[in-house]
Amino acid sequence: MSPKQTHHKHSSSKSYRRLLDRLAEHPAVHRVATGRVTPRMGSGRPVAAISKVRQVASGLAITINADGAMIDAYVVTDRPAEVEEFMAAQGWTG
C-alpha cells in the first residue's frame, strides 16, 4: 500500500498544513489536496478551523479558515460520513 499524501498546492502556514496532514492519516481518506486560497477581509477569529463541509463525487470539499485566508481543500474518500465524524470529533467543525 502506498503512503498517504497531502498535496500542498500553495505555500501555507504550519497550522492548517498540520490539520490536512492529520486528516490524510485517517484510514478512510485516500488523498487530500488544497485548492483555491482566498484572502479574507475583516477582523475577528473564525469560529472553527473548518467552516464548510460539502459532499462531492470524489468525497468531501472543505473550506479551512486560516490566518487572513480561506483555503478550499478536497478530501478523496469513499466513506465521507466517517471522515465528517472524525473532523467533528477533532473539534475542527463548528
Q: How far apart are CA 27 and CA 71, in angstroms?
A: 23
pLDDT for position 14: 63
Cα–Cα distance measured from residue 37 to residue 91, given in angstroms and rounded to the nearest whole number:
22
DSSP reduced 3-state for 86: helix
Closest CA to 79 of 34, 30, 33: 30
pLDDT of 66 reads 80
- Tell me the domain boundaries of the chain: 15-89
Each of the 94 residues of the chain gets a pLDDT tens digit; together they read: 445 556 555 555 567 888 899 999 999 999 999 888 888 776 666 667 898 999 999 999 999 988 778 889 999 999 999 999 999 999 998 7
